[in-house]
Structure 1
Amino acid sequence: MIEQVDLLQWLATWREPLIRTGQVLLIILLAWIAQRILTRAISRLGARYSLLPQEVLLPLRGLVRWLIMGSALLMVLERLGVSATVLWTALTGFTAVAAVAFFAIWSVLSNMFCALLIFTMGPFRMGDTVEVIESADKPGVKGRVIAINLFYTTLQDVSEEGAGALLQVPNSLFFQKSVRRWR
């Protein structure tokens, strides 16, 4: 009889935290099941009907996974007492700051991404002579590639008036203009 009273008191004390823990575990379990079902469905639809290439399916599955898990995280935080309004305000504020920062460093990121493409795709190599063509009636920048880094490709000028001068061409320019190459 004493043990039963103690158990009831213990349950009364821990009832709310146990219910909340159960709700959090249920949210996580349902989110995991939902993302597994949806990502498998996307994979099967892509394989069966060839609607989308594999290069599109992979990011689509990742996007679905992030959306479901992000939503589950917001639901868990709300169950733990964090206000949805505060979360939404923080999320939108962070997104706005991130967007401004992204646009502020766009040219830097563009040059870094183009450097990655130059290294992986190999449109030209060290020692090649390249010319970035401005337009049909104007001569462009021409030189021998002596260095490639994250922001610039350094060319040694091969023209007669600027022989020996070093030209630093932003990497993104090689993907915005036509390029002639000589090995």
Structure 2
Amino acid sequence: MEINYIKIAETFAIILIYFLLRNFTNRVIERTKNEKLIQPVRSLIVKRAIGLFLLIVSLIIISLIWGVDENELFVFVGSALTVVGVALFAQWSILSNITASIIIFFNHHVKLGDEVRILEGKDYVIEGKVKDLGLFFISLETKEGEEITIPNNVFISKSIQSKSTPQ
């Protein structure tokens, strides 16, 4: 019976750590959203993705605490990851764009309203104002009023000049 009290205490500790980490990451995401003028919907998607990852890790740790056999757990997790991996391999560009979106969210200097020049090559330049930073695409509005959408994975791989708009 005493062992169960230890397991219960460890479970509560993992749950507490989960909520503290989720709260911390949500605050970091909110601060980043406000600094970079990112749409609330986009930050919500990033919060959910990180929250789901933290939840899965917490559930795995709790399962181990309560005596689930490590080999069986790792076979299950490995099988699930294999299925997900095969599904995402078929859609590698989607995964690539989602990953690029998270990188842009946290580490890219471009924000809504910025004027950007994307240097496609020696003779080809795309210019426009950033209208939307989405999960899969970035939308630019040209001086002629046209809208150009660029996949996130392409956007982070190009040389970009930006001019921030005054706040």
Q: TM-score w.r.t. structure 2 length?
A: 0.50
Q: Decide whether aligned partners of structure 1 residues 172 and 88 sit closer, same or farther in structure 2, where only a CA change above 3 A counts.
A: closer
Aligned residue type for 1:181: S
- Once the two structures are TM-superposed, the CA of residue 92 in structure 1 deviates from its matched residue by 5.0
Q: Decide whether aligned partners of structure 1 residues 139 and 98 sit closer, same or farther in structure 2, where only a CA change above 3 A counts.
A: same
SS in structure 2 opposite 1:126?
Answer: coil
Write the distance in 1 (CA, Å) between the matches of 2:74 and 2:99: 32
- Once the two structures are TM-superposed, the CA of residue 106 in structure 1 deviates from its matched residue by 3.0
- Once the two structures are TM-superposed, the CA of residue 125 in structure 1 deviates from its matched residue by 1.7
SS in structure 2 opposite 1:123?
Answer: coil
Write the distance in 1 (CA, Å) between the matches of 2:159 and 2:128: 15
Q: Which residue of 1 aligns with 2:80?
A: 94
Q: Decide whether aligned partners of structure 1 residues 115 and 73 sit closer, same or farther in structure 2, where only a CA change above 3 A counts.
A: same
Q: Which residue of 2 aligns with 1:74?
A: 69
1:144 equivalent among 120, 126, 129: 129
- Counterpart mapping for 1:100-179 below 5 A: 100-135=86-121, 137-158=122-143, 163-179=144-160
Structure 2 segments unaligned to the other structure (5+ residues): 11-56
Write the distance in 2 (CA, Å) between the matches of 1:180 and 1:149: 20
- Once the two structures are TM-superposed, the CA of residue 176 in structure 1 deviates from its matched residue by 1.0
- Once the two structures are TM-superposed, the CA of residue 88 in structure 1 deviates from its matched residue by 7.7
- Once the two structures are TM-superposed, the CA of residue 164 in structure 1 deviates from its matched residue by 1.5
Identity score, percent: 27
Aligned residue type for 2:123: K
Structure (1 or 2) with the larger CA radius of gyration: 1
Per-residue deviation, residues 60-95 of structure 1 (Å, max 9, x unmatched): xx8xx96xx39x5226xx9xxxxx6xx887565433
Per-residue deviation, residues 141-173 of structure 1 (Å, max 9, x unmatched): 221111222111110123xxxx22110111222
Structure 1 segments unaligned to the other structure (5+ residues): 1-21, 33-61, 79-83
- Once the two structures are TM-superposed, the CA of residue 97 in structure 1 deviates from its matched residue by 1.2
The answer on whether the counterparts of 2:104 and 2:156 sit within 8 Å (CA) in structure 1 is: no
